[in-house]
Amino acid sequence: TITVPGEGQNMVESGAVKNVVTFADEVIVDITIKNPSLQAKKRTEVDILKTIHEKVYEKAKITVNVKVEAPAKPKTNVIKGKPIPGIQNIVAVASGKGGVGK
């Protein structure tokens, strides 16, 4: 009944739930999400706690382990070409008043 933040599928269908361990009134849930934001992690944890307390056992002691597997971001502003020996950084300066409209 719980959807993964930003994905739309429920946590079981999407494969986000990796492990569930129960022992008496103790429940441990291991889950992996792709959204690295703190808000998504907290919402995931709260949704799991709420659902187990409402639908399974209201006095359950629940531990939720949220792991984030964010896809690697492509590098932006990468300078392509042959490196210049001894040069690490290049700074480009431009002016907006180059005789436009005169």
Tell me what pLDDT residue 51 has: 93
Q: Is residue 97 a part of any domain in this protein?
A: no
Q: Is residue 40 a part of any domain in this protein?
A: yes
**Residues 1 and 51: beta-carbon distance below 8 Å:** yes
Q: Is residue 85 a part of any domain in this protein?
A: no
Q: Could you say which DSSP state residue 34 is in?
A: S
**Cα(38)–Cα(27) distance, rounded to whole angstroms?**
22
Q: Which residue has the higher pLDDT, 8 or 37?
A: 37
Tell me what pLDDT residue 81 has: 74
> What is the total count of domains within the chain?
1
What does the mean pLDDT of the chain come to? 84
Q: Is residue 46 a part of any domain in this protein?
A: yes
Q: Is residue 72 a part of any domain in this protein?
A: no
Question: Which pLDDT tens digit goes with each residue over 41-54?
Answer: 999 999 999 999 99
Q: Is residue 35 a part of any domain in this protein?
A: yes
Question: Which pLDDT tens digit goes with each residue over 60-91?
Answer: 999 999 999 877 776 666 667 777 788 877 78
Q: What is the mean pLDDT of residues 6-23?
A: 88
Q: Domain range holding 61?
A: 17-67
Q: Is residue 33 a part of any domain in this protein?
A: yes
Q: Which residues contact 90 (CB under 8 A, 6 or more apart)?
A: 79
Q: Is residue 8 a part of any domain in this protein?
A: no
